[in-house]
Structure 1
Amino acid sequence: MASMDHSQTFVTPRDVRLAARSGALVGSTAGMANGFVQVNLVIMPEEQANGFLRFCQANPKPCPVLAVSEPGARHCDLLGEDLDIARDVPSYRIYRDGEFDSTLTDVSAVWRDDLVTFALGCSFSFEHALLQNGVPVRHIEEGRNVPMYKTSIPLRRAGGFSGNMVVSMRPFRAAAAIRAVQITTRFPQTHGAPVHLGDPSLIGIKNLGSPDYGDAVSVAPDEIPVFWACGVTPQQVLMDSGIGFAITHTPGHMLVTDIPESQVALL
């Protein structure tokens, strides 16, 4: 289902965060605050945090760590000023005992003093670079959330966590696909180059029209589906690993930081 386009209304990172905090923004943050890094959030008790950090270090493609908070902190200076981790994301997901429990627009009421926040790079950050170079991004054109799929690509087990990769997909004609690979390779901290191009069944995806997360987008007969490692991967891993309590962003509903894209791009 298409969401309302707020990208021209909430231009700065602070605009987006305050809109989420007030409840004015409830949809995907794709295309918002162009030029600034958006991040995936994984929030868990300190007891499991060291293990999860080792898991991220073992799997940097889907889980590129940009920042880790102090226990209980709802701010992180590395990510931005006037930032409240518990309120500045349009939608959060709560997990209990390895199961998805509920969706909230504000997690202040369930916040705990032992919670550690991981900010992981997001592919929304390189989409601005694609658009600047004349490479179209289908889900932005169609006002949808990016389609995301579970795959058969195994992750390296570490820190008590394991599972398979989740990927995001963007379709391109051949020349644009080549350019997209070149551009996104410059952004290793926001998933970098694609992990697969072409036949979805080779990575365990049965139907492009039925994503596991996000929205389906149109794919023309002469277009190639291109797949990037996705920051939703930890959400699936949290469930597969049976974690007792955790909070994440809802897929596509990111925390927009004050970090310029230029700081995470290779020259």
Structure 2
Amino acid sequence: MSTIDTNFQQTGESIRLLARSGKFHTPTITSAPGFVQANLIVLPSRLAPDFRQFCARNSVPCPLLAETPIGIFDRLKSHIPGLTGQQIAGDLDLRSDFPRYMIYDNGRLTKSHVANIEREWTGDHVGFLIGCSFSFDAALTKAGLPPAHTLWGRNVPMYRTRVPLCPAGVFKNSTYIVSMRPYRRKDIEKVRDITRPYLITHGEPIDWGWDAVERLGISNIATPEYGDAPVAPDGTELVQGFGEGDETLEPVFFGCGVTPQEAIQRAGLEGRVFAHAPGHMIVLDIKDSDITRDN
């Protein structure tokens, strides 16, 4: 478990500093509620233009929040209108402020859940921050609709789909990764309404219902490619047929910021690429109210 005092005031900066010091190394599911969280992709500079275009063409699973200048790990250039990089995160070190990292060499995962990437970062790398759906979990909880994974201290389940992404340069032949939260059928419209304003953290679900499992091409809902196996709100295994009528529990699928890691593997990129470990996000200084838009 992470060494963290739950009584102190959690902010984006306080969580980053704990991760940087090695005292926080677990998923950030319920960390600093109300503060925006983000995914990470770090690429050789020659790949940055293609990745920037890839995000622009696939803004639901890959909403681009900010990037760094070449070789810089402690300063951001904002992609969020009306916000500066300094406002997004002031005291920042992308090499150590995520609780855990993944390292890819030539498109293949070579190191998983490493503590930091300080020795691996070079003067040619560019870091990108991508919006994360954890950012609206607090809003769902506040509305009386807490996601099941937050109730049980689990990582959100994430699945590979067959939904194609728009290609951009070297990034092609890839598909969506989606995260899943189960909800009663009668609550799904409310879930959509709550998450819809979070456009730069994936927004409302892309599909829902048990028939969506086949529609999205998910091979087995019980065994996600990333994260923990799904559970119902009561902590039991999520299975089809729980409840009746409007009380039926159904899977609800959202765009997911692990999608770029899938794209990196599909593209077989030459060189060393870094990413966050799924579920282990950076927590920023901005809050939900800074990024949400009216319906």
- The alignment's TM-score, normalised by the length of structure 2, stands at 0.86
CA distance in 2, matches of 1:9, 1:96: 40
Equivalences for residues 154-169 of structure 1 within 5 A? 154-162=164-172, 163-169=174-180
Aligned to 2:6: 8
For structure 1, the 5+ residue unaligned runs are none
2:190 aligned partner: 179
Change in Cα spacing, 1:48 to 1:182, as seen in structure 2 (3 Å) is same
Structure 2 distance, partners of 1:59, 1:225, is: 23
- Partner of residue 216 from structure 1, selected from 221, 229, 253: 229
1:266 is matched with: 293
How much has 1:178 moved relative to structure 2?
1.5
Instruction: After TM superposition, list the pairs within 5 Å mapping 1:10-159 onto structure 2.
Output: 11-77=10-76, 78=85, 79-103=88-112, 104-159=114-169
| Alpha-carbon separation, structure 2, partners of 1:5 and 1:25 | 6
**1:165/1:88 Cα in 2 relative to 1: closer, same or farther (>3 Å)?**
same
Cα distance, 1:6–1:180 mapped onto 2, change above 3 Å = farther
Aligned to 1:246: 273
Q: Kindly provide the CA deviation profile for residues 235-266 of structure 1, in whole angstroms up to 9, marking residues without a partner as x.
A: 00001001122100000000111011111101
Q: Is the 8 A contact 1:6 1:32 kept in 2?
A: no
| Equivalent residues of 1:142, 1:217 under 8 A apart | no
How far, CA to CA, are the matches of 1:43 and 1:69 in structure 2? 9
Counterpart of 2:228 in structure 1: which amino acid?
D
**2:104 counterpart SS class:** strand
The answer to whether the 8 Å contact 1:167/1:230 transfers is yes
Q: Which residue of 1 aligns with 2:252?
A: 226
Alpha-carbon offset, residue 76 of structure 1: 2.6
Identical-residue share of aligned pairs (%): 40
Q: How far apart are 1:8 and its partner, in Å?
A: 3.2
Tell me how far 1:6 sits from its aligned partner: 5.6
Q: Tell me by how many angstroms 1:9 deviates.
A: 5.2
- 2:220 aligned to which of 207, 220, 241: 207
TM-score, length-scaled by structure 1? 0.95
Rounded to whole Å, the distance in 2 between the matches of 1:151 and 1:36 is 29
- CA–CA distance in structure 2, aligned partners of residues 38 and 112 of structure 1: 25
Q: Counterparts of 2:274 and 2:189 in 1: how far apart (Å)?
A: 36
Q: Secondary structure at the match of 2:50?
A: helix
The superposition leaves residues 153-188 of structure 1 with CA deviations (integer Å, 9 ceiling, x where unpaired) of 000111220200000000000222221111111111
- The 2-side partners of 1:164 and 1:54 are apart by 16
Aligned to 2:263: 237
Give 2:205's aligned residue. Answer: 194
User: Bigger radius of gyration, 1 or 2?
Assistant: 2
**Letter of the structure 1 residue corresponding to residue 198 of structure 2:** F
Query: How many equivalent residue pairs?
Result: 265
CA distance in 2: counterparts of 1:9 and 1:15, whole angstroms: 13
TM-fit CA distance, 1:203: 0.7
Distance 1:70 1:230 in 2: 25
Q: Distance in 2 between matches of 1:170 and 1:183?
A: 14
Aligned-residue Cα RMSD (Å) equals: 1.6
Alpha carbons 2:158, 2:179 under 8 Å: kept:
yes
Distance of 1:16 and 1:9 partners within structure 2: 13
Indicate the larger mover: 8-17 or 256-265.
Answer: 8-17
